[in-house]
Amino acid sequence: MYKPLNDVIRAIRQRDPAARSTLEIVLTYPGLHAVALHRLAAWLLQHDRRLVARIVSHVNRQLTGIEIHPGATIGQGLFIDHGMGVVIGETTRIGDDVTMYQGVTLGGTGKHRGKRHPTIGNQVVIGVGAKILGAVTIGDGAKIGGGAVVLRDVPAYATAVGVPARTVRTSDPSGDSLNRLEILPDPDRDSLIALAQRIEELEIRLRELEAPHKSSEACSSLL
Q: Which residues of 26-64 are buried (b: 16+ CB within 10 A; e: fewer)?
A: eeebbbbbbbbbbbbbbbbbeeeeeeebbebbeebeeeb
| Average pLDDT for 95-99 | 95
Closest CA to 127 of 95, 97, 149, 112: 149
Cβ-based neighbour number of residue 202 at 10 Å: 10
Tell me: the pLDDT tens digits for 146-164? Answer: 899 999 999 999 999 888 8
Distance of CA 92 to the CA centre of its chain: 12
| Average pLDDT for 77-101 | 95
User: Domain segments of the chain: what residues?
Assistant: 6-222
What CATH fold (topology level) applies to the domain 6-222? UDP N-Acetylglucosamine Acyltransferase; domain 1 (2.160.10)
Among the residue ranges 105-119, 148-162, 182-196, the one predicted with the least confidence is 182-196
pLDDT score at 75: 94
Residues whose CB falls within 8 Å of the CB of residue 190, separated by 6 or more in sequence, listed in order:
143, 145, 159, 161, 168, 169
pLDDT score at 33: 96
Tell me: the pLDDT tens digits for 176-185? Answer: 444 443 444 5
Tell me: the pLDDT tens digits for 124-138? Answer: 999 999 999 999 999
Tell me: the pLDDT tens digits for 24-70? Answer: 999 999 999 999 999 999 999 999 999 999 999 999 999 999 999 99
pLDDT score at 24: 94
Q: Is 97 exposed, middle or buried, given 0-12, 13-18 or 19+ CB atoms closer than 10 A?
A: buried
What is the pTM (predicted TM-score) of this model?
0.74
pLDDT score at 182: 41
* Neighbouring C-alpha atoms within 13 Å toward the C-beta of 166: 5
